[in-house]
Structure 1
Amino acid sequence: MRTGSEPATARSPLRLRFWLSVWGLLWAAAGTAVFALAERPGWAIASAVLCLIASADLMIVVHRLHQGPHWQPGRDVPPYQPDRGDNRSPRS
């Protein structure tokens, strides 16, 4: 159900993003090491750039998680305003 207030009330699954960032960081770091040992500097640089991107995303996610429930509501907070059942537009 769309209420029209989605951009203001949207939520991101931060814990999922956290674990995906950790997974990507591990793979990128491993790729950097493997390609550096295999003397493939282009691929090693590409993997290192991915490692930097994953670590930046991880820092942002950890920062947002530390901001608390104001930024990431719990399961008891609905992601949108409840339906009033009268089919009125939310902008009226």
Structure 2
Amino acid sequence: MRSGNEPVNARSALRLRFWLGLWGLVWAVFGTAVFALLGSPGWAAACGVLVLVVLVDLTLVVRHIHQGAHWQPDRTVPPYEPGRGDGTGGR
């Protein structure tokens, strides 16, 4: 449901997602190195795949951060009517 004040109060979690992804990347790289040194190729490969997934996610997050804010309706656009769950939009 839209209350009408989202452009004023909306917050993005992209920066939090970036820092958590970076933290996960550090641990995944660490895990890959440790498992490779211990001679566990399966676990090292699993951590290596996780490194790739986190890198893709971080790339998308940075891309979205660099895109900046998207269009938000101004104060002249009324809030949406709350829906009833049947797709009619409250009509």
The answer to whether TM tops 0.5 is yes
Structure 2: gaps (5+ residues): 4-9, 84-88
Corresponding residue SS for 1:70:
coil
What is the alpha-carbon distance in structure 2 between the residues aligned to residue 50 and residue 89 of structure 1?
40
The one-letter code sitting in structure 2 at the alignment partner of 1:33 is A
* Structure possessing the higher radius of gyration over alpha carbons: 2
Backbone CA RMSD of aligned residues = 3.2
Structure 1: gaps (5+ residues): 5-9
The one-letter code sitting in structure 2 at the alignment partner of 1:21 is G
1:28-47 matched pairs, under 5 angstroms: 28-47=28-47
1:3-82 matched pairs, under 5 angstroms: 3=2, 12-70=12-70
What is the alpha-carbon distance in structure 2 between the residues aligned to residue 89 and residue 35 of structure 1?
52
TM value normalised by structure 2: 0.68
The one-letter code sitting in structure 2 at the alignment partner of 1:32 is T
What is the alpha-carbon distance in structure 2 between the residues aligned to residue 56 and residue 23 of structure 1?
14
Which residue number in structure 2 is paired with residue 7 of structure 1?
Answer: none
Superposed CA offset, 1:11-36 (max 9, x none): 75100110011011000000000000
User: Alpha-carbon deviation of 1:89?
Assistant: 4.3
Q: Give % identity.
A: 53
What is the alpha-carbon distance in structure 1 between the residues aligned to residue 79 and residue 44 of structure 2?
52
Q: Aligned residue pairs: how many?
A: 76
What is the alpha-carbon distance in structure 1 between the residues aligned to residue 12 and residue 37 of structure 2?
38
User: Alpha-carbon deviation of 1:45?
Assistant: 0.2
User: Alpha-carbon deviation of 1:3?
Assistant: 3.1
What is the alpha-carbon distance in structure 2 between the residues aligned to residue 89 and residue 53 of structure 1?
37
What is the alpha-carbon distance in structure 2 between the residues aligned to residue 28 and residue 82 of structure 1?
46
